[in-house]
Every structure is written in structure tokens, then in C-alpha cells.
Structure 1
Amino acid sequence: MKIIPEILLDNYKKSFPQGLDLKFNSLHDAEISNDSFSFYTSVASVFSSKIEGEEIELDSYVKHKRFGIEFLPDYTKKIDDLYDAYCFAKNNSLNKNNIAEAHRLLAKNIVAENQLGKHRIHPMFVTTDDGRIEYVAALPHQVDNEMEAFYEDVERLLNKELDFQEVFYYASWIHLIFVKIHPWNDGNGRTGRLLEKWFLSEKLGEKAWFVQSEKNYYQNHQLYYTNLRKLGLEYESLDYSKAMPFLEMLPQSLLL
């Protein structure tokens, strides 16, 4: 592997909750879903957007998406875009070109049109609400090379036979590594959470789309951000040995 670490896999497996494979196999779609509406795609889109500060409620969005009840466009448009990206992922393979297309869908009301699906060329800082620098992402000249390594590792994992625990381990790493590189001008968090689930679906099938990971991250969003910060302030000095608390969050989504 070029960029996705394997250093924590043994300890991860030792701490992996028993019986989660049975819980995963028992997942099923919601009764309210139909051929043109997915309840769990709505859940994913709403809670992933709420993590980014969007003021949207699941009940309102379901009324909008399932029953055609109108709201002001600004209330629903970014969530609609993310919903479209999830639908795209469900019907397309996880690869470099399709990741870019997913970003073009989910970020069309977030970044400039000429930046959709394009790696950034400017420095990227994640800041707190009071303007304090919380994280310095990969430097602009590093982004292309880091992402090429990322794409190669994802392809390698997709072609490798993995057991259930390993699938969850690497899905979390895909999420984590992506957001640490921060390759887009914006929409990185939304994309990282989508990639995590996209990988699960490639390895475990359709039931992966019913895992409420985005809801779990939102309900524990302070812990989510704390675990992301544990690795360090700057991309070049990240300590991946401290990633276990973050990796352990995805399996907990099966307990919702």
C-alpha cells in the first residue's frame, strides 16, 4: 500500500465488536422507499450536510424528496446535490474518474464551476469558528501525487479479497486519508463520507447503503472532529498510530 496504513489492523480486529456481521446482514431498506426515492440516501445526505453546518431537518427533506412538498431552494439544493452524488455512486464503480464526477454533482452549489472535480492549487487550512487554524492540509504541490497514491491504493483494495472486519477498517481509512489530503477547494468532508460508504458497497453489496454512518458522525460530531484532530496539526507530520478512535466510529454505526 502506498498511502493507506495497515499498522493498526491487528489491534483493530481484536477490538472489533462481535456480531456486527449479523447486524449488517439484517439491514434492509425502509418501507417508505420506492423506485424513485431512497429513505437511507436521504438520511445520508441530510446528516452529512448537517455536519457541514447546513440547517436542514430529515423530516422536512423527506417531505420534499418523497412527497414533492416545496421549500425554498436554498433550504434543499445542496442536500439534493449530495443525494444525486449518492445515487451516482450506487450505479457506478469507485474509481478516480467517478470520484471526480461525484464531486461535480455534490459541490455544484458550493464551489466555482471550473473547480468541480478538480484538485485544488491553493493552500488549504481548516479553521475554527473563531478563526483559529485547526489543520493544515497537504500542500498544493503535494496534492496530485498524494491523490494518485490514494487512487492506486483504493483500486488495489477493490481487487483484494477482504474479510468483513478488513472492509470496515479500510473504508474508514479511505475516509480519513481523503479528508486529510483535502484535495478539493470544498466538499471534502461530504466526499470522504461518501467514499467510505461507496467502498463498503463495492465490497459488501447493497446493504452498505443502509448503514447510517453519516447520522452516527453527526450525532457524535464533536467526537468525530476530536478524533480527526488527534493525528496532528499538519499533513506532513500526521501520526497515523493515533487513528484508532476514528477507525472505531464506523462499526458503531451498525448499532444505531
Structure 2
Amino acid sequence: MNKQLLILSNDLLSEYLEKAPKGLNHALEALKDAEISTESFSFYTSVSSVYSSKIEGEAIELDSYVKHKKFGIEFSPDYTRKIDDLYDAYTLAKTNKLNKENIALAHALLSKNILAKNRQGKYRTQNMYVSTPDGRIEYVAASPFEVEQEMEKFYADLNMLLETAMSTEEVFFYASMIHLVFVKIHPWNDGNGRSARLIEKWFLAEKLGDKAWFIQSEKMYYDQHQTYYSNISILGLEYPSLDYGKALPFLLMLPNSIKNG
């Protein structure tokens, strides 16, 4: 890496490369689209949208969503609309470059039924706390006065990584780190987790090709959501004191999702 990263950490890269599962190239090449997919319907985009939404507490089941999306079976709009919005964001990502402007557009799509229109694709301007179901503060995100400058660093690093040649294993490392740093900054009023998981997959596809969209990472994060949240929260309580030296358990989840999927 010729240039210094501004906000993403690569301190764990050597240890990661030792511990990451072998054969990621082979596993990626073995992926293929589902037979149920058509030109107007993507099964794996449905999987991503459903399970990323379920992580956020949406009461949606994949079977019902596929019936709705592919076959036009009607359900209550409240049951499907947020998942439809996220599906639209993934669809946008699959045909557009990963950059600051398109990430904002994707957030505007996925938050259409979550946030007021004037907050869609816009950075938050108030403090942000992540709480447990019992009301305990689990994490204090970046100050609203820091968000824009932290995101500028994030996008500078992202652009550099997109232009840097790297191995498949390194791509997985940086995809996970992008996910983690984005969710720790927490730039939006809502939709941060959905955005982070989308950007992770988007980065993989930009670097490794369209087969990356078939990786069921969102399903794995949902199936192991207690571990997922634990691995995110272990870095620390407050943004200024985060310890990315503790990030390895989180970073190893993504490559294991393709090896075990």
C-alpha cells in the first residue's frame, strides 16, 4: 500500500492472512446464481435484503418475500416495503460504481420508509447512541461535529483501496474493515447497519466481480447475530477510544461465510 490509510486500519492484516480460511478464490468461483432468478428477479438480492432487514428486527421471512417479489403475491405493505426499499438499494449498487454519491443514493432508497425525506442520504446532525433492548447504552457513535470529516477520511481510503491491486484475501479483509468503520462512525440517523452490509458486498463485487453478490454474508450475520453484535461492540464504548486491535473476530466472519455457506 503506497499511501497511508486515514481511518481504516490494516494493523491486523498479517495476522488475518494467517488465520483466514484458505481457498477463497475457489469458493468464489464455485458460486452461481439460483435457478429461480430471472432478468427481473434476483434470488440472492432477496436473501441479502431479507436477512439484512431481519438483523434490524424486521419480521419478514425469505419464503414469503420471494413469493411477493417473484410471483406478485400480496402481503401487507408494512410487511414488505422496507425490504423492497433495501432490494432497490442493492439493485442500484449492482449497476453503479461504489462512491460517495452512489452510497448516498443507496441510503436514500433503503431509508425511504424509515426516515423523513430530508434525512435520506444525509449525515446526521445530532448525537447517536446505540442501546440494548433494556435501554442500556452500548455504544456512543462519532460526534455529529466529527461525522463529515470522518466520512471524508472514509471515502478517501475507500477510493484508494478501489484503485489498489490486492489479493482475494486482502479484498475480504478490507471489505470487512470498511463495514466495521462505517458502522462505528454511524453517519446516518438510521439505516447504518443496512448500509454497512451493502457497502461491504459492493466493495467485494467491485474488486472480485459479480459473483460476490451471491455470497450470503447477510444471512450468516443474521444466523450468528449475537456473535456479530458482540464482535462489533468489543472494540469499545465510545468512538474516540475504539480499539481496532480487537477487530479480528469480526473480520474473520466474512471469509468464513463463503467457506461455510
Q: TM-score, normalised by structure 2?
A: 0.98
Q: What is the letter of the counterpart of residue 249 of structure 1? A: M
Counterpart in the other structure of 2:176: 172
Query: Is residue 177 of structure 2 the alignment partner of residue 210 of structure 1?
Result: no
Distance 2:145 2:241 in 1: 16
Q: What is the letter of the counterpart of residue 120 of structure 2? A: L
Secondary structure of the equivalent of 1:147?
Answer: helix
Q: 182, 186, 195: which one pairs with 1:182?
A: 186
Query: Is residue 203 of structure 2 the alignment partner of residue 199 of structure 1?
Result: yes
Counterpart in the other structure of 1:100: 104
Distance 1:133 1:210 in 2: 35
Secondary structure of the equivalent of 2:189?
Answer: coil
Following superposition, the deviation at residue 212 of structure 1 comes to 0.3
Counterpart in the other structure of 1:18: 22
- Report Cα offsets for 1:221-249 as digits up to 9, x if no partner: 00000000110000000000000000000
- Report Cα offsets for 1:135-181 as digits up to 9, x if no partner: 00000100000000000100000000011000000000010000000
Secondary structure of the equivalent of 1:3?
Answer: coil
Aligned residues of 2:24 and 2:169 also touching (Cα < 8 A):
no
Equivalence map 1:129-148=2 (5 Å) = 129-148=133-152
Query: Is residue 43 of structure 2 the alignment partner of residue 39 of structure 1?
Result: yes
Root-mean-square deviation (Å): 0.4
Q: What is the letter of the counterpart of residue 146 of structure 1? A: E
Q: 86, 89, 92: which one pairs with 1:88?
A: 92
Counterpart in the other structure of 1:110: 114
Q: 237, 244, 259: which one pairs with 1:240?
A: 244
- Report Cα offsets for 1:74-111 as digits up to 9, x if no partner: 00000000000000000000000000000000001001
Following superposition, the deviation at residue 20 of structure 1 comes to 2.1
Distance 2:22 2:178 in 1: 23
Aligned residues of 2:34 and 2:43 also touching (Cα < 8 A):
yes
Counterpart in the other structure of 1:7: 11
Unaligned runs of at least 5 residues, structure 2: none
Aligned residues of 2:68 and 2:74 also touching (Cα < 8 A):
yes
Size of the aligned set, in residue pairs, is 256
- Report Cα offsets for 1:11-31 as digits up to 9, x if no partner: 000011112221111100000
Q: What is the letter of the counterpart of residue 34 of structure 1? A: T
Q: What is the letter of the counterpart of residue 157 of structure 1? A: L
Q: TM-score, normalised by structure 1?
A: 1.00
Following superposition, the deviation at residue 67 of structure 1 comes to 0.5
Q: What is the letter of the counterpart of residue 31 of structure 2? A: L
Distance 1:204 1:251 in 2: 13
List 4+ stretches of structure 1 deviating above 6 A. Answer: none
Distance 2:204 2:235 in 1: 24
Q: 61, 66, 69: which one pairs with 1:62?
A: 66
Equivalence map 1:117-132=2 (5 Å) = 117-132=121-136
Q: What is the letter of the counterpart of residue 115 of structure 2? A: V
Secondary structure of the equivalent of 1:18?
Answer: coil
Aligned residues of 2:24 and 2:168 also touching (Cα < 8 A):
no
Q: 34, 49, 54: which one pairs with 2:53?
A: 49
Secondary structure of the equivalent of 2:130?
Answer: strand
